[in-house]
Amino acid sequence: MQFSKKLKDWVQECADLCKPDKVYWCNGSQQEYDMLMSEMLNDGTMMKLNEKTYPNCYLHYSNPNDVARVEHLTFICTKDASDSGPTNNWKSPEEMKDIMKPIFDGAMKGRTMYVIPYIMGPADSPASKVGVEITDSPYVVANMRIMTRMGQQALDKMKSEYDFVAGLHSVADCNPERRYIAHFPEEYLIWSVGSGYGGNALLGKKCFALRIASWLAKEQGWMAEHMLILGLETPDGETTYITAALPSACGKTNLAMMVSALENEGYKVTTVGDDIAWMYIGEDGRLYAINPEAGFFGVAPGTNPKTNPNAIASLKENSIFTNVARTADNEPWWEGMTKETPSPLWDWKGQPYNGEGKAAHPNSRFTAPASQCPVISPQWQAPKGVPISAILFGGRRANTIPLVYESFNWQHGVFVGATMSSETTAAATGAVGVVRRDPFAMLPFCGYNMGDYFGHWVDMGKKLGDKAPKIFHINWFRTDDKGKFLWPGFGDNARVLKWVYERLNGKAGANETAIGYVPTADAIDTKGLDIKKEDLEKVLEVNNEEWKKEIPAQKEFFDKFGDKLPKEMTDELKSFEGRL
Ligand code: SAT
Ligand code: MN
């Protein structure tokens, strides 16, 4: 292997600090993966699942204190606090490093330090970027091999000495008191210590592909977004590409690979990505998206052959399961996988399950290669990416927000994104089910001042002009007075995609309301759908009195940004109030 001087120096620096017994450079081969797995089987970090029904699949239990992202311990460490902004935790780079250095010091004694060169994005895409993660967790190496393109191909892609994002990770003693996820965007550097879980530890994912990448994207005029990318095949034989931003654990994976209820009518969904989109303006002036990842790190609970058959097919082999339950046949299990809870069963802590609490952790995950998805798009690794026609924003809201609406124009769409709200989920530690502002589903993932981020969105719209994608908002989670979902969701969401597609082509009916264009009840294709007329009306309803109650929270949120809030957002808020 060939290494640049910067890379060699940095690895040496990390080794001097963490003092591992040995340093191992990962090449990404199957042999290497098998070797790591057999080591983890030996030391009990991994369990082998049923080789007949789940070939080459493994189960890992994380430390019970370490099962989700930790937003309160996640920092954006810019020289100037105002560059990190009011929605991020901030410490100066010096102070943060002074706190973390003693934790890293000697943390890898008795362990191996793995060096993982990896690419985010298709190897031959000009939009892709290289990262290097250093970790003492073989579990992280195994997951990174599924989630990224790793090994020699990444070293080959490092064009110049400085062309990679560096990430140092150690599980250390996995102590929540000594756990920090720190980003130094000015140095293209990530430090993560004290957690071995998902977004805290797989540094290519949220740390690089969203937090550092959003910073780079602002500097360089592109976009790094918390969005799935799907292709909607339509009866005319064309494919329309759509991205959608939804907070963690709100159904991005399900939407990205849904089995359309309208397949007989010729509407079919293919998957480009299920979590992150990197978007740039192409030579023709349109917005193009690539999926920087190579795998899915999906929420397990609720996934079953009905809700998401394509996810089930994706995870049947070569996959890693984290914090799910295990059956007597050594198969993974989670709440919602089957109607009956199997017995006997071992819970996500490895204990016999006695029916109390959840057998699988609510944020338990599967890591599966994207290439195994039966509906993976033929374009998913296209170097150029796919041209985006529509952007959907969405959240989990029991009230107020209708099933779908279209913004009046790009700038209004940016306001819709900036005022997004959603009920919190188990993907992060903290209370679940609390409504909070989560603009663009990026609240935990924006690597700089979100006021500047809103401004960047406004600017991108100006550059795109009339080639800009149309912006919509979706909400599958509206309920009736008794708390029952009004909309069936899952494959029936294709009915909403059809409306979006028809709006793009000027065909579908809509009412102009204070929030935007909302479908008329007969504009949603309900053929074959058993939904009461009043439920459909209710799920599409715009109640101005309810919306007026949103205004104070929107204002309060905007006020945090002071003069960093673009004037366009203040203008939009005023117009919105006026329309209400
Ligand atoms: O843990 S991850 O950040 O990778 C998943 C998520 O919360 O979206
Ligand atoms: Mn996510």
Domain finish residue from 221, 238, 268? 221
- The arithmetic mean of pLDDT across residues 417-433, rounded, is 94
Residue 332 shares a structural domain with residue 230: no
Q: Is the pLDDT of residue 203 over 60?
A: yes
Catalytic residue among 14, 207, 250, 373: 250
Contacts 24+ apart (CB under 8 A), 542-546: 542/402, 542/405, 542/513, 542/514, 542/515, 542/518, 543/400, 544/514, 544/580, 546/399, 546/400
b/e map 19-41, b = 16+ CB within 10 Å: bbeebebbebeeebbeebbeebe
Atom of ligand 1 nearest to the CA of 226: 8
Please tell me the total count of domains within the chain: 3
What is the reported pLDDT for 4?
Answer: 83
Q: Beta strands 112-120 and 149-150: pairing type?
A: antiparallel
> Rg (Cα) of the chain, in Å, rounded?
23
Atom 6 of ligand 1: nearest residue by CA position: 248
299 and 423: one domain?
no
In a shared domain, residues 229 and 255: yes
Q: Are residues 416 and 466 in the same domain?
A: yes
- The number of the ligand nearest the C-alpha atom of 441 reads 2
**pLDDT for position 531:** 95
Rounded (5°) CA angle 360-363-365? 80
The answer to the question of residue 68 being in a domain is no
Is residue 300 located within the same domain as residue 283?
no
Instruction: Indicate if ligand 1 lies below 6 Å from the C-beta of 199.
Output: yes
Based on the fold, state whether residues 97 and 153 are members of the same structural domain.
yes
Looking at 189, 221, 253, the residue that finishes a domain is 221
For a pocket test of ligand 1, which of 206, 225, 322 has the largest count of ligand atoms closer than 8 A to its C-beta? 206
Mean of all residue pLDDT scores within the chain: 97
Contact 495, 507 (CB under 8 A): no
For ligand 1, is residue 538 a contact (CB within 6 Å)? no
State pLDDT tens for residues 63-106.
999 999 999 999 999 999 999 999 999 999 999 999 999 999 99
What's the rounded mean pLDDT across residues 166-184? 98
Residue 158's nearest CA partner among 123, 189, 183 is 123
pLDDT average, residue stretch 34-55: 98
Kindly state whether residue 514 falls inside one of the protein's structural domains: yes
| Structure-derived torsion over alpha carbons of residues 393, 396, 401, 405, reported in degrees to the nearest 10 | 30
Q: Which residue CA neighbors atom 5 of ligand 1 most closely?
A: 199
205 lines ligand 1 (CB under 6 A): yes
Q: What are the C-alpha distances in Å from 154 to residues 28, 117, 163? A: 10, 6, 11
For residues 77 and 164, state if they share a domain.
Answer: yes
For residue 443, CA distances in Å to 105, 246, 428, 483 come to 31, 11, 12, 27
Q: Which ligand is nearest to the CA of 274?
A: 2
The yes-or-no verdict on residue 547 having pLDDT over 80 is: yes
Closest residue to atom 3 of ligand 1, CA basis: 199
Q: Give the CATH number, domain containing residue 322.
A: 2.170.8.10
Whether residue 210 has its Cβ less than 6 Å from ligand 1: no
Q: Report CA(252)–ligand 2 centroid distance (Å).
A: 8
Ligand 1 binding pocket includes 248 (Cβ within 6 Å)? yes
Alpha helices, DSSP H only, in 1-78? 5-18, 30-43
User: Cα(first)–Cα(last) distance of the chain, in Å?
Assistant: 63
What's the rounded Cα separation, in Å, for the pair 54 and 56?
A: 6
Measured from the CB, is residue 198 less than 6 Å from ligand 1? yes
Tell me how far the alpha carbon of residue 429 lies from the centroid of ligand 1, in angstroms. Answer: 11
Pairing of strands 22-25, 239-245: unpaired
- Ligand 2 mean position to 200 CA, how many Å? 12
Q: Which ligand is nearest to the CA of 195?
A: 1
Token pair in block for residue 77? 């460490």
- In the structure, what pLDDT confidence band is assigned to residue 331 with cuts at 50, 70 and 90? very high
* Residue 163: predicted pLDDT: 83
Same domain, 15 and 121: yes
CATH of the domain at 240: 3.90.228.20
Whether residue 308 lies inside any domain: the answer is: yes
pLDDT tens per residue across span 484-519: 999 999 999 999 999 999 999 998 999 999 999 999
Q: Is residue 2 over pLDDT 80? A: no
Query: Per the domain annotation, does 189 fall within a domain?
Result: yes
Q: Kindly tell me if the per-residue pLDDT of 284 is higher than 90.
A: yes
For residue 297 and ligand 1, the question of a CB distance below 6 A is answered with yes
Q: Does 446 qualify as catalytic in the annotation?
A: no
Cα-based distances in Å from 398 to 39, 401, 480, 487: 47, 8, 8, 11
Cβ of 566 less than 6 Å from ligand 1: no
Rounded Cα distance, 465 and 111, in Å: 54
Sequence-distant (≥ 6) Cβ neighbours of residue 527 within 8 angstroms: 265
Q: Whose CA is nearest to atom 1 of ligand 1?
A: 199
Let me know if residue 408 belongs to a domain.
yes
Kindly state whether residue 52 falls inside one of the protein's structural domains: no
Which protein residue's CA is at the shortest distance from atom 2 of ligand 1?
Answer: 199
What distances in angstroms separate CA 492 from CA 46, 314, 325, one per listed residue?
38, 21, 29
Residue 527 shares a structural domain with residue 399: yes
438 & 516 share domain: yes
**pLDDT tens-digit map of 356-380:** 999 999 999 999 999 999 999 999 9
Query: pLDDT > 70: what percent of the chain?
Result: 99
Task: For ligand 1, atom 4, name the residue with the nearest CA.
Answer: 199
- Does residue 69 line the site of ligand 1, with CB under 6 A? yes
Listed residues 338, 372, 406: the one ending a domain? 372
289 and 300 within one domain = no
283 and 349 belong to one structural domain: no
* In-domain check, residue 54: no
- Which residue range(s) make up the domain with 287? 225-294+378-579
Confidence grade of residue 257 (pLDDT, cut at 50, 70, 90)? very high
CATH of the domain at 41: 3.40.449.10
CA of 297, nearest ligand number:
1
Q: Is 317 helix (H, G, I), strand (E, B) or coil?
A: coil
- Domain contains 213: yes
